[in-house]
Amino acid sequence: MNIKGLAHIAIQAKDYPATIRFYIEALGFKRGHHWSLPSFQIKEASMLISPDGRTCLEVFDDDAVIPAQGKKARTEEEVAYGAMLHLAFYVEDVDKAFQTALAHGAKPYVEADNLTLGEPPLVIRNALVHSPNGEVIEFIQDVDFDIESHSSVK
């Protein structure tokens, strides 16, 4: 297979400057490049680079016409979604990431806690917020999900 990894996830921002600020100030991303593309009604777009230096988040203005799954919610109360359910970021400290996101305008969704998943049990620590733009963001401490390769249970 020629896949090297996840390049980026694209989101559409209701408030473009505020969304860019949140990902830079609260989550440590940096702006790698920005552009406009009138043929797709893109007034503003940016590729934000995560602290790992490789994974990116592409942010488009609210009026951009971009290929998307699902349908756009008409109001904040309406839930509309396609296959993507949330973004998850590995963090060193879930509690700190959760509090930092809240301090930058995110709303709490699931408080930081430890979860035990599956058999053999895999303990993870995570928390979830709603970003100021509405994405569900999960913070998860580094964990090796390839537990089946390291276990005699298959």
pLDDT above 80 (res 125) = yes
DSSP category for residue 136:
E
Residue 38 token pair: 């009138």
Q: 120 pLDDT band (50/70/90 cuts)?
A: confident
- Res 18: pLDDT: 96
Q: 4 pLDDT band (50/70/90 cuts)?
A: confident
Distant-in-sequence, close-in-space partners of 116: CB < 8 Å, separation ≥ 6: 122, 123
Distance, CA of 31 to CA of 64 (rounded, Å): 19
Task: For residues 56-82, give the mean pLDDT.
Answer: 78
pLDDT above 60 (res 89) = yes
Which amino acid makes up residue 100? T
Nearest to 85 by CA among 16, 138, 47: 138
Distance, CA of 38 to CA of 15 (rounded, Å): 19
Residue 108 token pair: 């709490």
Q: Which domains does the chain have, with CATH numbers?
A: 1-69 (3.10.180.10), 85-153 (3.10.180.10)
Distance, CA of 113 to CA of 82 (rounded, Å): 27
Residue owning tokens 């951009």: 64
Task: For residues 109-120, give the mean pLDDT.
Answer: 90
For the stretch 132-143, pLDDT in tens is 998 899 999 988
